Amino acid sequence: MVETLVELVRDGDVATVTLNRPAKLNSLTPAMLDQLEACVRALDADTDVRVVILTGCGTKAFCVGADINEWAALQPLDMWRRWVRRGHQVFDQWARLRQPVITAINGHAFGGGLELAIVGDIRIASTQAQFALPEASIATCPGWSGTQRLVRLVGASRAKYLALSGQRLSALDAVASGLVHEVVAAEQVLERAKALALEMANKAPVSLQLTKQLINAAAGEDTDATLEAMAGALAATTQDAGEGIRSFQEKRAPKYQGR
C-alpha cells in the first residue's frame, strides 16, 4: 500500500489537504509532490468543493521545504527533471486551482515550505510560525518560485532580504510584509481557516472563482489561459455559437448575426 503523506478530506463545501509527515516536519519528497498533484487534480474536478484549506500536520512546522536526503544524491539532469521542474509543475497547479485556497500555516515555513504556503490565496499563520528561504546556506537557490511568485507577492526588495540573508521572519513581520494576512494563536489556526472557508463557501462559487482568476491574471499568474478561457466561455453563450454548431451538423454555410 502507498503511504498517505498528503491527506484530502472533504467536509461539505470545504476540503482540507494536510501534509502528513510531522516526524520530518512535513519536509517534501517526490512521493509527496505526486500526492499533492493528485489532490489538486481531484479538487479541480470536484464541483461540490467551493473552498480548499492547505495545512500541515503537527504543531512545529507547516513544511520546512524539500527533504535534503531525497535530492542530495541526484545528478544535475535528474535534479532538473525530477525535482525542480516537477515541483514547479505541482505548485503552479495549486496556485491556479479554480477554487480559493486558504493556507493554514500551523508552524514554520522554510524554503519549499514557504513557496508552498504562498500558492494559497489567503494565508493564516500561527503566532509561532517563522518564515525563511535558507537555500543559499546549503549552496543552492530557491527552486519552486521563491524568486518569482514571492517577488510578485511581497516585492523584490523583501524577497532579496529573505533569499540573500537567510534571516527568519516572525509571524508578525510576515503580516507587515504582506506575506500573510492574519496571525492567530497556534491552536486556533485551523479553526480560523475553517471559519473563513465557511464564510467564503456561502458566497456565489462561480463569482469567487472568476474573481480569483482575474486577480491572478492581473498579477501575471496564468494570464493567457485565463483570458482565453473567459473569452471562449463568453463566445459559447452567443446565438452565433449555436448557429455555428447547427450549420456544422446540417452541413451548410452558417448565417451569423453578431448576437
Task: Dig out the grid coordinates for 155 from the structure.
Answer: 516585492
Task: Dig out the grid coordinates for 59 from the structure.
Answer: 504543531
Task: Give me the catalytic one of 3, 115, 182, 187.
Answer: 115
What is the pLDDT at residue 145?
86
Whether 115 sits among the annotated catalytic residues: the reply is: yes
Q: How far is CA 162 from each of CA 35, 169, 174, rounded to the nearest angstrom?
A: 28, 8, 11
pLDDT single digits (tens) 100-129:
999 999 999 999 999 999 999 999 999 999
Question: Smallest Cα–Cα separation from 180: which of 259, 226, 127?
Answer: 127
What is the pLDDT at residue 245?
86
Q: Report d(CA 56, CA 77) in Å as an integer.
A: 30
* Residue ranges of the chain whose pLDDT lies below 70: 1, 70-82
What is the pLDDT at residue 71?
65
Task: Give me the catalytic one of 3, 7, 135, 187.
Answer: 135
Secondary structure E strands in the chain: 6-11, 14-19, 51-56, 61-63, 101-105, 108-110, 122-126, 130-132, 169-170, 182-184
Whether 243 sits among the annotated catalytic residues: the reply is: no
